[in-house]
Amino acid sequence: MSRRFTFGQRTSVFGRAPFAPLAVAAVLALVTANVALADKRYVWIDNDGTVRVTREDPMGGRTVQTITVPDDISWQHAPDMLAEKPDSHKLSSQELFKLAARSVYWIESRSQDYGNAPRTVYGSAVAISDELALTNCHVVGGGKAALRLGSGKTEATTEVELVAANYDADRCILKVAGMKLLPVVGIRLMSTLEVGEGVYAIGNPQGLQRSLSEGLISGIRDDPDGRLVQTTAPISPGSSGGGLFDTRGNLVGITALTLTNSQNLNFAVPAEDFWK
């Protein structure tokens, strides 16, 4: 059975600007990275009005745009994965936010897609070292993009290098210059997660920087098409690339998508999968 949240055919693209239904990540052209372009994708709208990005032409007389995505970029000098913070005591939501929110940053991509006027895409990223951050590839930008990554309202840097990318799995790693990032306290392995435990999402939905939402892990989807952590923690456009944290402040996953025409079916890419 085909799942509508299959990688490369996702039903919601949270990095795109509101009211721009065809403004999906097209070509990852970064200000300091020369990325070889390869591989075609088809962009189209299904019967529910949802943007789809697929390897196959949907046919059937649909209006289709074609985009080019980069070859995978392997992570040549990946740091060791941060050890999980031990289960000493459960943090309050206030303590959790103070601990985890400092590691969540905003990404702003100014780009031009399909010959339209330049637009701004807003998303999130989570620091794992003083110079590296995890995000979803679809928030990095489309067309000829100029990226900014920052904290609060400060324009901290315009120098962003793409050091690893897997477009189909929606996993991108950025290296920044001009500022020192504050990394998360630890990374939680997917095998240790339990359905029903509490989690928090922190991101920049609709440009509202470092917003906090609370929920539960409602499913652990270890499928051949891709691993996902399902959660009831609300996420919205701009949340993509943000963090899903456990009650100790460990990074569980990178919030990526929701299932359309449903309620509280939200998903994150497991944080550990970025090291694959």
Catalytically active residues, by annotation: 138, 170, 240
- What would you measure as the largest C-alpha separation in the chain, in angstroms? 58
- Separation of alpha carbons 270 and 249, rounded Å: 15
10, burial (CB in 10 Å: exposed 0-12, middle 13-18, buried 19+) = buried
Comparing CA positions, the residue from 168, 166, 202 lying closest to residue 184 is 202
- Provide the b/e sequence for 185-211 (b: ≥16 CB within 10 Å): bbbbebeebeeeebbbbbbbbeeebbb
d(CA 270, CA 244): 9
**245: how many CB neighbours lie within 10 A of its CB?**
32
